[in-house]
Amino acid sequence: MDLPDDLIALERAAEEQRARLEGLDGAEYEAQLRAWREASAAALAAIADHAAATGTARYEVEMAVKRAVRHGETPAD
């Protein structure tokens, strides 16, 4: 599956926001949680748009993007 760079960048940004939650509490945690949720929502929206535009199942696109970001796997065409 050919994945656009912007999908990878959005998912990577969401993962970076999630990682920043570690060690936070209180108001800092809540603010970072909102930042993570916003980044994640942006990534998921872009994934859904790409899936619709290419006629691919959203789940397949999402899993390919997550594998590429989290495991450094290059999706097969």
Contact 62, 44 (CB under 8 A): yes
Average pLDDT over residues 35-64: 97
CA pair distance 77, 73, nearest whole angstrom: 12
Mean pLDDT on 48-60? 97
Average pLDDT, the chain: 93
Residues 10 and 42: beta-carbon distance below 8 Å: yes
- What's the Cα-to-Cα distance from 39 to each of 2, 17, 54, 65, 77, rounded to whole Å? 22, 7, 23, 14, 27
Alpha helices by DSSP H, the chain: 5-19, 26-54, 58-71
Mean pLDDT of 20-42: 97
> In the predicted model, is pLDDT for residue 76 greater than 70?
no
What value does the mean pLDDT take over residues 47-71? 96
